[in-house]
Amino acid sequence: MSTNPRAAIVGQSGGPTAAINASLAGVIKAARSNENISRIYGMRYGIEGLLKDEIIEISLTDEDLSLLASTPASALGSCRLKLPEDMSAGEYDIIDAVFEKYDIGYFFYIGGNDSMDTVAKLTRHFRDSDRDVKVIGVPKTIDNDLTDTDHTPGYGSAAKYIAVTMQEILRDCAVYTKKAVTIVEIMGRDAGWLTAAAALPGRIGKACPDYIYLPEKAFDIDRFMADIQAALEKHPNVVVAVSEGIRDAEGVYIGEAKHKGLDVFGHVNLSGAAKALEIAVKEKIGCKVRSIELNLPQRCASHVASATDIDESIRVGEAAVEAAISGQTGKMMCFVRNTPVYSVDIIPRDISEIANKAKTVPDNYINKDANGVTEECIDYILPLIQGEREIVWENGLPKHFTFDK
C-alpha cells in the first residue's frame, strides 16, 4: 500500500460539540504521520464548503493539535447540507472535480446522523462511478442517539457539564428555608441521554435532583404536580430536570402553546418546556418557582470536558484514518464497550445500517414511575464523564485554537 500516496480531506458537520475538534485532531495526527497520505486538506463549512472549493491545507504542530482538541465547536466550520438522493445531480460532478483537483483518496466526515447520510451517499457515488476513494464517518453528537456505537464522542463532555452544573445548582438551591421549585431544562428533543446525566450528582455526592423526566415517556402534567407536591412535603427546595422534548400522551410538546394557560406569543415552542412548567407550578402550587435552560453551554463547555470523552474522540479520529488506509470504505467508526473495567474498542461498521436511525434511552434505564433513571442507567453514563483535561489558560481564559488568522 505504500506506493502512490494520495491526499486526505476532512470536514465537520452538524451541531457543535466540545469533542468534535478532538476527533479532527485525531484524524490530522494519524494522517500526517501516514506514508500513504500525501497532504491533509480541510473543508471549510463541511460539504457545503467542499462544493464551493473552500478548501485549506492543514499542517499543525503538536501544540496546535493539543489546543485544537480542547477548543469547542467546529474549527473548520460546519453545515447542515444533505446531498441529493439523485446520484446524477450536479453536486456529484462538482465533487468529482474537486477530488480530482486535489487528488483526494481519503474522505473523513465528522458529524451526526445527517453527516452519516453524506458518508453513505458519497460511498455509493464513488462505488457506482468506480472511483477509488475511501469514505469514513467519524461520529459525534452530544445527543448520544446514534445506533451501533456504545456511545457517541461529545456525549461524555456534555454529560459531565450537565452533572457538574446540576450539582452546583443543587447547592445553590439548598440555601433557603422557603419552599421553592427549580426546573432545569436539558437538551435532547427525542432522546433523554443528556437529561439522564442530571442524576449523576446523586450517585457521587450528597445532592440529587428530586425527579428527572425524559422524552421517552409520555409526560403527565397532573402526575408531575403530584410529584412536586410530594417532594415539597419532604423538603423546601425541590429541583427537577426535564428534557426539552417532553411530550404529553398525544405527543404534543409541553412547551407548545396548546397547553392551557400557556399561550406563549401564539408561537410553537417559543417558551420551552421548563418555562411552561414554571408557569404551571406557579398557578397550581403558588410557591416560588424558576426555570433554567442549560442551553448552548451543554455542547460547548470545553473548559470542563470529560478527559475520557476527549481521549476517545481523538482515538476514533485516528482509527478512522487507519481504517481508510487498510482499504475500508462506507464505514462509521463505532465504540464497543468492555466491562467490568471500562474501556472501549473502536471498530468500523457498515454505514448503510446506521444512517438515519436514532437510539433512545431504553426502558430498563427509566424508573417505573417515569420520573427518574435506574442505577443501570447511571452505571452506563458514569464512566463517560471521568477525568479532566488539562486546559491551557491564558490571562484568565482557556486558550482556543483557530484556523482563522
Q: Which residues are catalytic?
A: 143
Residue 265 engages its own copies in binding (rule: CB under 8 A): yes
Distance between CA atoms of residues 172 and 207, nearest Å = 11
Which member of 306, 313, 329, 371 binds its own copies (CB under 8 A)? 306
Nearer to its own copies, 203 or 357 (CB): 203
Residue 209 engages its own copies in binding (rule: CB under 8 A): no
Please name the residues in contact with 259: beta carbons below 8 A apart, sequence gap of 6 or more.
221, 248, 252, 276, 280
Which member of 150, 220, 248, 388 binds its own copies (CB under 8 A)? 388
- Residues from 268 through 297 that contact its own copies (CB under 8 A): 270, 279, 292-293, 295-297
Least distance CB 317 / its own copies (angstroms): 18
Least distance CB 294 / its own copies (angstroms): 8
Q: Which amino acid is at 2?
A: S
The CA-atom distances, in angstroms, between 390 and each of 88, 138, 385 are 48, 24, 15
Q: Is 34 helix (H, G, I), strand (E, B) or coil?
A: coil
Residue 249 engages its own copies in binding (rule: CB under 8 A): no
Cell 476517545 locates to: 312
Residue 303 engages its own copies in binding (rule: CB under 8 A): yes
- Residues from 36 through 95 that contact its own copies (CB under 8 A): 45, 48, 71-74, 77-80
Do you know the residue count of the chain? Answer: 405
Which member of 4, 130, 175, 234 binds its own copies (CB under 8 A)? 175
Residue 170, H or E segment: helix 155-173
Please name the residues in contact with 51: beta carbons below 8 A apart, sequence gap of 6 or more.
81, 91, 94, 95, 98
Nearer to its own copies, 285 or 370 (CB): 285
Q: Collect contacts of 222-229 with beta carbons under 8 A, ≥24 apart.
A: 223/371, 224/277, 224/371, 225/280, 225/281, 225/284, 225/285, 227/369, 227/371, 228/181, 228/281, 228/285, 229/285
Which member of 205, 226, 376, 379 binds its own copies (CB under 8 A)? 205
Binding site for its own copies (CB under 8 A): 12, 16, 45, 48, 71-74, 77-80, 160, 163-165, 167-169, 171-172, 174-177, 182, 200-201, 203-207, 261, 263-265, 270, 279, 292-293, 295-297, 299-304, 306, 382, 385-388, 391, 393-400, 402, 404
